[in-house]
Structure 1
């Protein structure tokens, strides 16, 4: 009897210990009495939603069926085929991803978690602030680069009128002292003739006074008419421009968005020098189209280049192409060149930490200044680029602003980037020697179109050639950047409202002949006036006028910020 009692006690203790022991990560919740039931779960794959149907007997996974109709054949589909057996074998969602199908694998793993524990793993997934992790370095540099590329195509519309576009890649990067990329943020602006049939594409119909341009209004590859030849349309078109990141989920490229693919490339390039990025591009992308090499290409050159790689390199490329297949250098823009320019333009940052970084762009159309000596209007469009680092309180710890101003060729400013309209629109009046007198019309050719776009420079790139009064644009912008360090965006906007002219966005000064400016200045305290005197000793240009809205670009950089947790040792 005593022996039986001891055995019973031992069994009871054993059961108690088992009951107290926590479940291993990834194992399913037990169902009572070996009951059979079916669970379903959803996750986000590469092409869209992926789903699993899980058959349970008690706490044992007996069968898993995976579905993902939008996953790419040969890339995502191996995960659909192979992971179900792994889930059953492990009796858990906690399994390794399938090489080359990382995106789809992670989607299926989340779908399993959603099926087994929907409370902890809801679908749709909870929105989270994008976070890039922690960035540490002993020395930090920031650089910004713009690569401009003209494009003929794709093709012509159904009226046989050529499609054209202008492509600008905008790259901002943090580098360490060895030139390795600590953090990379790339965006792009693509501006096309209105007969480009892509939905959401930014357009410009040329300048007012030219011919207008064929338009495909409903994006069905058929011309619906010609755009209005008016200033109103010009102002509307430019004001509605967006970057590819701003276009977001609407800008699909195959099975994902431009933004998602660019994010994949950015992660790939972190830790590399620009030279290593260029070497990677040369070795692992097609010489025909700049896309990452893939197995099964029908292009002999690509097939030969791919076949020469090692098994490890092919596995790496399979993983890369599960997240990104778009070109890094083609007619849509030279991403590698923009990153290289960012490195060449880098400057050291005297900061100790930053919680987040953001990038913002503002677009501004302009009528003027004035007309040429033949009474033809001058026009321009202006882009402001703001790259910002913020602390945990939203205060700016580093600010870098640049700008691109592109004008009609009759603008008489030396060094001004020009756009004569699209080829076929007749060219535009041209002041060749910048003496405020028209010397003729620009050539209405493809060659001139390409030459103009390829020669565009930002205001920082124009450097000492771009004078504004007693200093350069770059020097004045540097002064504003220094002024805004330590302020939140709200505080900058409040400063702008209080201390600049409501007429032209310039800092207020004593002795203005404008009654509105004089009244606003006179209402300030002596301390305010002393501060403004110090500001205007270094910068007097406008922060928001027809040349561009610098405040809006800084605001956009704050709204677009992502967490990086930068620490400078």
Structure 2
């Protein structure tokens, strides 16, 4: 027995000695960096004996609910695979790649150096100025959604797609600039979404004031609230990096399509859309959901599939759905195109300016008419910032108790009770518009711009279009500062060109101080245009300024 005890003790000593002589497991803690969708992603990688045992990722600027999912899920997949050769998290391609790059940088910084993301250098588009045409269009639609709030009250929204294009004499697109104004009820939880609560006396609308997904109450039912909400109305390009989608921002995704369609005719763009997009108007892909879309994708050549893969890398946005109809906007811009006598330009810009108005007037039941306007300016500028071409249009929308037969109308949102309706435009109210979603969606068919309304929109000196034409021509050759100076010096308190019969003492003195040549110039202007450049009807000056501020380089050269 003692012999066995001695043998066991000896064996224990041998095992202990072997354990002491075995090399300790090597543990490393490594740090790396990568570029995500929103900004810098950093990782801490733990590795034992060459095996990845833990990955922690930080990316505070990645989109919540999209990129944040990659931050949470992808590190576990990398640990499990002991490799960065793992699938991206669905819908978060950029964030996923940023995490992989950061892990590779941590593991082998020489082979995978971190390079700080540089701002994209914008190169001017080269356009030949021979038989040049410019088109400007606005296309509007309503949407049921997105979703409902935590009180089960529906969110409603509407969109105004604005598109400016240059065409050659064959109808090929030389340059394309697309923007969109999306406006939702204030119960939508997006922090940067433009909002509209309906009209005063409709009771306001459920309001998610701090954008946490919970409604705190209703917006104020007042004219002050109505007018103040237009300060939130920014286009999707103006919303910038805050408006992120699967493959980039809204702006970067739309840039992909703008570049893709240059060189095509409108018919060729329609053919591209018909052949290469799915039932939702998005570029086709191998993981199509419906059998029809799967068959459509399978019928394509390898080169076509590769082209679509390249497109989807930068853009998965729909070209025609309730978010907006870009195809119809392009068709309309072509139909409305006008010839340009322009030989050179260094930049092009697209600007919008929106405002609300209490009026015009009241109906026969003393219920107030309300309206709102979006002024649109498309401009070309030379290298010194002078306007070489200017196109203006405007969308004016009023409550249906306004008696104008061709006025676009909006009754507010479903659930707000409709609005007094002068159905046959005789100045007498017949009842209220239907308080339904069908009525809501149908009203957008009435939304036509002032140019589209044509000869039916008459003013003192002509139609709205002919009066706007006067200012388009007047401002060519001027810088934005000079346009502002002209407005300050030559318009009255109502933003209209000064005249000898001014009503206020201030305007009379302002007119009297002008030279005879200046008075003659104003007389010529007023012969064709007495419209205001800045009042409750719309702000031309701000729209033109916005077009300049949003300008993009373009190399327009005469032939």
TM-score (norm 1): 0.79
**1:521 equivalenced with 2:511 (yes/no):** yes
The Cα shift of 1:41 comes to 9.9
Distance in 1 of aligned mates of 2:322 and 2:253: 17
| 1:224–1:255 CA distance, 2 compared to 1 (3 A) | farther
**Contact 1:46/1:322 (CA < 8 Å) preserved in 2?**
no
**Once the two structures are superposed, what CA deviation does each residue of 1:513-546 show, in whole Å capped at 9, x if it has no partner?**
3222111111111111011111111111100000
Q: Distance in 2 between matches of 1:68 and 1:260?
A: 24
Hey, what's the Cα distance between the residues in 2 that align with 1:551 and 1:238?
A: 17
Give the Cα–Cα distance (whole angstroms) in 2 for the partners of residues 486 and 532 of structure 1: 17
Structure 1 unaligned regions, length at least 5: 1-39, 53-66, 82-99
- CA deviation after TM superposition for structure 1 residue 409, in Å: 1.1
Give the secondary structure class of the aligned counterpart of 2:239. Answer: helix
Shift of 1:490: 0.5
> Do the aligned partners of residues 122 and 567 (structure 1) sit closer, same or farther apart at CA in structure 2, a change above 3 Å counting?
farther
* Equivalent position SS for 1:279: helix
Gaps of 5+ in 2: 1-30, 44-56, 79-92
Change (3 A) 1:553 1:305: same
Residues 150, 450 of structure 1: 8 Å contact kept: yes
Is 2:239 the partner of 1:247?
A: yes
2:461–2:529 Cα contact (<8 Å) kept: no
Alignment partner, residue 490 of structure 1:
481
* Per-residue deviation, residues 219-278 of structure 1 (Å, max 9, x unmatched): 333322111111111111122211000101011112421111011111111111111111
Q: Does 1:190 align with 2:185?
A: no
Q: Which has the larger radius of gyration?
A: 2
Task: Indicate which of 515, 527, 531 corresponds to 1:541.
Answer: 531
**How far apart in 2 are the matches of 1:236 and 1:427?**
22
Q: Secondary structure at the match of 1:321?
A: helix
Q: Distance in 2 between matches of 1:395 and 1:263?
A: 25
For residues 301 and 220 of structure 1, the distance between their equivalents in structure 2, rounded to whole angstroms, comes to 39
Tell me if the contact between 1:387 and 1:401 (Cα under 8 Å) persists in the aligned partners: yes
Measured after TM superposition, the shift of residue 198 of structure 1 is 2.1
Structure 2 match to 1:60: none
- CA separation of 1:331 and 1:222: change in aligned 2, threshold 3 A: same
Whole-angstrom CA distance in 2 between matches of 1:306 and 1:255: 20
Deviation (angstroms), 1:495: 0.4
1:300 deviates by: 2.4
Alignment of 1:162-241 (within 5 A): 162-241=154-233
Q: Residue in 1 aligned with 2:356?
A: 365
Asked if structure 1 preserves the Cα contact closer than 8 Å seen for 2:129 and 2:342, the reply is: no
Q: Is the 8 A contact 1:139 1:568 kept in 2?
A: no
| Per-residue deviation, residues 350-379 of structure 1 (Å, max 9, x unmatched) | 111111001110111111223222121111
Superposed, which structure 2 residues align to 1:14-413 within 5 Å? 123=116, 125=118, 128=121, 130-287=122-279, 289-413=280-404
Task: Check if 1:511 corresponds to 2:511.
Answer: no
Partner of 1:415: 406
8 Å Cα contact 1:47-1:256 kept in structure 2: no
Q: For 1:134, what is the secondary structure of its paired residue?
A: strand
For structure 1, which segment, 457-466 or 221-230, has the greater mean C-alpha deviation from structure 2 after superposition? 221-230
1:447 paired with 2:438, answer: yes
The question of whether the paired residues in 1 share the 8 Å contact of 2:140 and 2:444 is answered with yes
Q: Do the aligned partners of 2:129 and 2:343 also contact (CA within 8 Å) in 1?
A: no
**Residue 37 (structure 1) aligns with:** none
Contact 1:135 1:564 in 2 (8 A): yes
Check 1:339–1:43 CA distance in 2 against 1; reply closer, same or farther (3 A cut).
farther
1:563 Cα shift?
A: 0.5
* Structure 1 residues 157 and 342: alpha-carbon distance in aligned structure 2, compared to 1, 3 A threshold: same
Q: Distance in 2 between matches of 1:209 and 1:273?
A: 48
Structure 1 CA distance, aligned partners of 2:58 and 2:124?
Answer: 28
Cα separation, 1, equivalents of 2:496 and 2:292: 57
Does the aligned pair in 1 maintain the 2:461–2:527 contact within 8 Å?
no
Whether the aligned pair in 2 keeps the contact of 1:239 and 1:365 (CA below 8 Å) is no
Distance 1:553 1:290 in 2: 30
The alpha-carbon distance between structure 1 residues 322 and 47, as it changes in their structure 2 partners (threshold 3 A), is farther
TM score, norm. by length of structure 2? 0.80
After TM superposition, give the deviation of residue 45 of structure 1 in Å.
Answer: 6.4
RMSD: 3.1
Checking the alignment, whether the CA contact within 8 Å between 2:411 and 2:419 is kept in structure 1 is yes
Distance in 1, Cα, partners of 2:119 & 2:235: 26
Contact 1:504–1:544 (CA<8 Å) still a contact in 2? yes
> Do the aligned partners of residues 154 and 124 (structure 1) sit closer, same or farther apart at CA in structure 2, a change above 3 Å counting?
closer
Residue aligning to 1:435: 426
